[in-house]
Structure 1
Amino acid sequence: MFTGIIEELGTVAAIDHLDDSAVITIDAKGLVDDLGLGGSLAVNGVCLTSVRTGDASPPGSATAESPGPFVAESSGSFTAEVPGPFTAEVMGETLRLTGLGALRPGDQVNLERCTPAAGRFDGHVVQGHVDGCGELLSRDDHNEWSTLRIAIPSPLAPYTASKGSIALNGVSLTLTAVSEPSAENAWVEVGLIPATLTHTTFGELAPGDPVNVEVDVLAKYTARLLSFGAAPDTTVIFNSTTSTRQGADHD
C-alpha cells in the first residue's frame, strides 16, 4: 500500500521493449538501496516489483560481479552511470493501460516506497493499481499555484467528487472540480502548490501528456457493494459438521 506522497523523482535509465512486455530500469537516487528482490516501488503510481537485488547487474550488462554503478543506453546495453538502480518487468497489459508504455530513457518519474506499518499516513489509501490512463487537457499557471484539468476515462467519473481524493501519476491530490454526470467527456481538476510542482513530474507536464489515474479505493468498494442491491450476509459457519451433529442430538 502507498499514500501518494512522492519521495523522489527518478529517471528512466533504460527501457527494453520485448514482444508484449518491457524491462524498465530506473535511477532511483538511493531510494531503493535496501530494496531486495520482490520489493515494491510505485513508479508514476504503478506498483512494480523489483526483479533483482541492488547488487545484481541489469539485463545485458557485461558483468554481474560489480555492485557499483552501471551504465545504460536506450538500446538496452549500458553506457551511462546510474546509481541506485531499480529494475522491473512490466507486462503488456500494464503498458497499454498506463503511461509507462510511453516512457523513454531520460524521462523523470514519481517514486514512492510502500508504506511501513509504523509509518506516518499523510496522503490517502493508494494501492498502486492504476484504473486507467488520462491525459492533461490544460494547465493554468498562476503566480503561486497551478490548475490542471485532466481528461479521465468516462467509466471512472462516478468515483470522483469535488474535494474527494484521487491519485494522479501516483500523487495523492484533492479534486477541486469534476465534470458533470451529463458531460460527454469526463475530466477532473486539481490545484497544485509550488512544492508539488517542484517535487513531482507535474512541474513539467504538458497538454497531451498521459496521466495515470487511480480513483479512491473506498469509492470503488462502495459502488461494488451497492451494485448488489443489499448488504451481503457475512455470517460464517466455521464448523458445519459439528453444528449438524448437535442439531441431530436435540431431535
Structure 2
Amino acid sequence: MFTGIVSAVGTIEEIRQSGDLRIVVSCPYDPADIDIGASIACSGVCLTVVERGGSQGDAWFAVDASSETVSRTAKGRWQQGGRLNLERALRLGEELGGHIVTGHVDGVGSVAAIEPVGDSRKMTFAAPAALAPYIAPKGSITIDGVSLTVNEVEDQDDGSCRFSVNVIPHTSAVTTLGTLETGVDVNLEIDVLARYLQRIQSLRS
C-alpha cells in the first residue's frame, strides 16, 4: 500500500532480459533499509525488490517486471537511463499524506496539453474510455505514482475523457512530472474508492 507521495527519483541503470525483465535502479536510499522482498512503487508500479546494494545515499536495487507488467504500463517506460518516481511501501503509523494507492496500474494515459498558470503547470491528460467513469472533479488520481487532485473533466464522444491537474513547482522539482512533454504516455491508477462506488452503482443498475 502506498500514498502517492514520492520519496525519491531513481534512474534505470541496467536492463536485463532473461524470462522476465530484470531492472536495476539507482536511488538515494540507504541499502541497509531496503529489504529483499520489499515493495517499491516505480512510477506507480508496485514491484518487489530481489537484489540491492551500494552505500547510503548511493544505493541500487533490482526488480523483475513480467511481460504482463510491461504490456500494461506506459510505453517506453522500462529503458536504460529512464527516470522513475519511487515510493517505499506505507508503514503502520506513518502519515497518509496523499491518498490510498495500491501500485496497480489501471490504464495508460497521455499528456494532452501543458499550460503555465502562475508558477504552476496546468497539465491535461487523455484517459481511455475504460477509466473515464472513475475520474471526477476534486477526486484523486495517481499519475506515474504521484497523488494528484483532478480539477476538471471533459468527456469525449468516444467515451474517453480529458482531465486536468495542477502541478505546483515543488511537485515538478521532486518528481518526473516536471519533465513530461505533450504526447508522452503515463501510468494511471484511479482512486480505489471510486472503483468500489462504480461497482456498487453498476450492480444497482
- TM-score for both structures, normalised by structure 2: 0.92
- State the 1:229 CA deviation: 2.4
Amino acid at match of 2:24: T
Deviations 1:30-73 (A, max 9, x none): 25541211100000010000112x35xxxxxxxxxxxx46xxxx
Match of 1:42 in 2: 41
Match of 1:138 in 2: 113
Amino acid at match of 2:94: G
Amino acid at match of 2:9: L
Match of 1:9 in 2: 9
Aligned length: 204
Distance 1:208 1:17, change over 3 A: farther
Deviations 1:140-167 (A, max 9, x none): 1234010111111111000010111000
5 Å-filtered alignment, 1:190-201, equals 190-201=165-176
SS of 1:155's equivalent in the other structure is: coil
Contact 1:37 1:51 in 2 (8 A): yes
Amino acid at match of 2:163: V
5 Å-filtered alignment, 1:12-91, equals 12-18=12-18, 21-30=20-29, 32-52=31-51, 54-55=52-53, 68=54, 83-91=58-66
5 Å-filtered alignment, 1:89-238, equals 89-99=64-74, 101-180=76-155, 182=157, 184-229=159-204
Give distance in 1, aligned partners of 2:22 and 2:156: 39
| Cα RMSD after superposing both structures | 2.0
SS of 1:106's equivalent in the other structure is: coil
- State the 1:101 CA deviation: 4.7
Give distance in 2, aligned partners of 1:124 and 1:31: 25
Amino acid at match of 2:119: E
Deviations 1:162-209 (A, max 9, x none): 111000000000001112265654221111110011011011111121
Amino acid at match of 2:10: G
Give distance in 1, aligned partners of 2:29 and 2:75: 21
Match of 1:248 in 2: none
Which segments of structure 1 move beyond 4 Å, counting only runs of 4 or more?
181-184
Unaligned runs of 5+ in 2: none
SS of 2:123's equivalent in the other structure is: strand
Amino acid at match of 1:135: S
Amino acid at match of 2:37: G
Contact 1:8 1:31 in 2 (8 A): no
Contact 1:95 1:101 in 2 (8 A): no
Deviations 1:107-134 (A, max 9, x none): 2110000111110111000000110111
Give distance in 2, aligned partners of 1:5 and 1:30: 15
SS of 1:220's equivalent in the other structure is: helix
- State the 1:96 CA deviation: 0.9
Unaligned runs of 5+ in 1: 56-67, 70-81, 231-251
Structure showing greater Rg: 1
Please identify which structure carries the higher strand content: 2
Amino acid at match of 2:199: R
- State the 1:100 CA deviation: 6.6
